[in-house]
């Protein structure tokens, strides 16, 4: 979505619908790690409102993202359904000369950044998606992971290797036995 010029946001708000397209996401992923691999577009839906100098976006980003399981290392699809709430404040910056128009700048209250009078919703929503990605994704809670001895995926290729309990992803559970 193109950046939104803040002085065009009507008093009764603006309904927002757009896609974060895979091509755009892949372009960004070349510059910085996203923590996920795009799998189809992410849809963004919400409402942008302006009250005085405060701008608020409330909405939701949905879609599917591809993650790598931190135990078995296999890729898997994860459903994403992330509420998004972002706030900005308009900061008036008089230029002090008569031949140029004074400009509004936008302070991103989450990132603490000040930018020219445009809101980049795509960028802000991508930040929310990146933050929502689990640090240690699991293909499923019961994933058995890789065998520490032969390296086989124990979900699909159970092996007969003998290894100590503390190597198992479930070793921590035994401390909670009642
Ligand atoms: Zn797994
Ligand atoms: Zn093994």
How many whole angstroms from 4 Cα to the centroid of ligand 2?
55
| Shared-domain flag, residues 8 and 63 | yes
What domain range is 59 assigned to? 4-87+118-132
Tell me how many domains the chain contains: 2
How many whole angstroms from 174 Cα to the centroid of ligand 2?
22
Assessment of whether the complete model's pTM goes beyond 0.85: no
CA angle 80, 40, 59 (to 5 degrees): 45
How many whole angstroms from 175 Cα to the centroid of ligand 1?
23
Tens-digit pLDDT profile for residues 138-171: 999 999 999 999 999 999 999 999 877 555 555 5
133: CB partners within 8 A, 6+ apart: 34, 35, 36, 65, 67
How many whole angstroms from 135 Cα to the centroid of ligand 1?
14
Q: Please give the span between the terminal C-alpha atoms of the chain, in angstroms, as a whole number.
A: 54
Flag whether 82 is in a domain: yes
Q: Which two tokens stand for residue 95?
A: 């230029």
Other C-beta atoms closer than 10 Å to the C-beta of 148 total: 12
How many whole angstroms from 122 Cα to the centroid of ligand 2?
45
| Shared-domain flag, residues 123 and 171 | no
| Shared-domain flag, residues 124 and 175 | no
Residue 95 vs residue 107, higher pLDDT? 107
- Among 76, 70, 73, CA closest to 134: 70
| Shared-domain flag, residues 42 and 11 | yes
Compute the mean pLDDT over every residue in the chain, rounded to the nearest whole number.
86
| Shared-domain flag, residues 122 and 165 | no
Residue 167 vs residue 40, higher pLDDT? 40
How many whole angstroms from 168 Cα to the centroid of ligand 2?
12
């Amino acid at each position: 979505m193109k950046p939104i010029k803040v002085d065009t946001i009507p008093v009764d708000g603006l309904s927002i619908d757009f896609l974060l397209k895979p091509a755009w996401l892949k372009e960004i992923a070349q510059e910085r790690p996203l923590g996920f691999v795009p799998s189809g577009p992410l849809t963004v839906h919400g409402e942008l409102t302006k009250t005085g100098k405060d701008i608020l976006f409330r909405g939701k980003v949905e879609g599917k993202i591809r993650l790598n399981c931190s135990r078995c290392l296999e890729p898997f699809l994860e459903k994403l359904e992330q509420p998004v709430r972002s706030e900005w404040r308009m900061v008036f910056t008089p230029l002090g000369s008569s031949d140029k128009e004074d400009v509004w700048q936008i302070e991103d209250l989450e990132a603490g950044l000040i930018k020219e009078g445009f809101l980049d919703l795509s960028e802000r929503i991508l930040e929310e998606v990146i933050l929502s990605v689990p640090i240690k994704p699991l293909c499923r809670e019961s994933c058995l992971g890789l065998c520490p001895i032969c390296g086989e995926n124990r979900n699909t290729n159970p092996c007969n290797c003998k290894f100590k309990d503390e190597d198992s992803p479930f070793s921590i559970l035994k401390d909670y036995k009642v």
